[in-house]
Amino acid sequence: MATISGTLQSIKTPNVDRLAKGLGWFSIGLGVTEVIAPGAIGKITGTRKHSVIRAYGIREIAAGIGILAAKQPGPWLWSRVAGDVMDLASIGKAASGSNRRRKGNAFSAAAVAGVTALDVWCAKKLSADANGASQYNARAEASMVVNKSPEECYAFYRDFEHLPTFMDHLESVEVTGDRTSHWVASLPKGIRMHWDAEIVSDVRNEHIAWRTLPGADVPQTGSVEFQPAPGGRGTIVRVSMDYEHPVGAVGRAFTTMIGKEPEQLLRKELRRFKQAVETGEVIRTEGQPAGRRNSTTWMDSLAR
């Protein structure tokens, strides 16, 4: 999902995936050169044994293909790190021998050390991402400007018993402890869900983060941030959630509830939150007169 905050993030830190791809192609390029022209490589690195260089070349090509083809390139990057160590060892061995090309040797060592650093950083980062993502299979984010101060927005949200007023599918939220609460939601087709959640982080007027406790139908972790909008124009309220999409009948009811784009549900909830905070309540048309059996239509249910 593309969000502005995501884009800004990628400007600040190098894009890991792109770096991994670059390293993959670098591996293949270097490997092919090592296999085809071991002599030239030997001259630069100070290593004489062409068979060793060819073997390293095959190792590079394998690592490169692994990085480019694998869904999770992390392990292949770690294989590159291992290769880098072997390369450094070979270069070191050549340098300690009776070799006169010490200048080229030092240059190779520095270059390989640099590449090693990149490999390690990239591999670590990818492994961390893979561990983070493995817990949940879905994510949603949404934000909305609210014409009230972060203090007012935080206070309204932090009173969890307010949540069912703007989260239509929530039946109740009961605060059960200092950091824990019990949630009941009703899904389409009469399916109900219960879960317990705990606050994992709570910074007054800034953000609240929570996660579900073991046993939840939809395990999730989420946060809401309250960021002052520029120029005193209220607060940008930003909600993000990582969750495990349930399976079976509950999963199907859950899909009906959130629709195809889970951001839409968050946005609709945020809009009602905004109505509640700015005007005191959520505006309704359910119960108004109409020249048909129901006061509202399928379109209203879809849009809300």
Partner 1 sequence: MKANCWQGKRNMQVEEVPDPKILNSGDAIVRITSTAICGSDLHLYNGFVPSMEAGDIVGHEFMGEVMEVGKGVKNLKVGDRVVVPFPISCGNCFFCSRQMHSLCENSNPNAWMAEKLWGHSPAGLFGYSHLLGGFAGGQAEYARVPFADVGPIKIENGFTDEQVLFLSDIFPTGYMAAEACDIQPGDTIAVWGCGPVGLFAIKSAFLLGAARVIAIDRFPERLRMAREKCGAEVINYMDADVLETLKEATGGRGPDACIDAVGMESHAAGMMYAYDRAKQAMMLESDRPIALREAIIACRNGGTVSVAGVYGGLIDKVPFGSLMNRAITIKTGQTHVQRYLKPLLARIENGEIDPSFVVTHRMKLNEAPQAYDMFLNKEDECIKVVLKP
Binding residues (CB under 8 A) for partner 1: these are: 145, 147, 233-234, 264, 267-268, 271, 274-275, 278-292, 295-297, 299-300, 302-304
Written as six digits, the tokens of 296 are 């509202």
Whole-angstrom distance, CA of residue 163 vs CA of residue 165? 5
Closest to partner 1 by CB, 59 or 274: 274
Residue 151 or 300: which CB sits closer to partner 1?
300
CB of 34 to partner 1, least distance (A): 55
Token couple for 101: 């090309």
The C-alpha atoms of residue 128 and residue 132 are separated, in whole angstroms, by 6
Return the ∠ at Cα 77 (arms to 16 and 32), rounded to 5°: 110
Residue whose pair of structure tokens reads 């630069």 in the numeric block:
44
Considering the complex, what minimum distance in angstroms separates the CB of residue 140 from partner 1? 15
Q: Compare residues 12 and 292 and give the one whose CB is closer to partner 1.
A: 292
**Which residues are within 8 A (CB) of 203 and not within 5 positions of it... i.e. 6 or more apart?**
none
Q: Are 250 and 140 contacting, i.e. CB atoms less than 8 angstroms apart?
A: no
Q: What is the dihedral of CA 47, 48, 52, 56, to 10 degrees?
A: 40
What's the length of the chain?
304
Task: Write down the least CB distance from residue 69 to partner 1, Å.
Answer: 39
Supply the minimum distance, in Å, between the C-beta of residue 234 and partner 1: 7
Please state the closest distance from residue 265 (CB atom) to partner 1, in A: 10
The sign of the dihedral angle between the CA atoms of 191, 196, 200, 202 is positive
| Cβ 286 to partner 1 shortest distance, Å | 7
How far does Cα 127 stand from its chain's mean position?
13
Cα(26)–Cα(273) distance, integer angstroms: 50
DSSP classification of residue 190:
G
22 or 228, CB closer to partner 1? 228
The least distance separating partner 1 from the CB of residue 200, rounded to whole angstroms, comes to 30
If the CB atoms of residues 125 and 274 are measured against partner 1, the closer one turns out to be 274
Q: Which is nearer to partner 1, 131 or 297 (CB)?
A: 297
CB of 238 to partner 1, least distance (A): 17
In contact, 244 and 138? CB cutoff 8 Å:
yes
Output the smallest distance, CB 155 to partner 1, in A.
17
Which lies closer to partner 1 via its Cβ, residue 247 or residue 302?
A: 302
Q: Which DSSP helix (H) or strand (E) runs through 171?
A: strand 170-175
Instruction: Copy the structure tokens of residue 154.
Output: 């935080």
Instruction: Return the number of other C-beta atoms located less than 10 Å from residue 203's C-beta.
Output: 11
Q: Tell me whether residue 2 or residue 247 sits nearer to partner 1 (CB atom).
A: 2
Nearer to partner 1, 71 or 292 (CB): 292
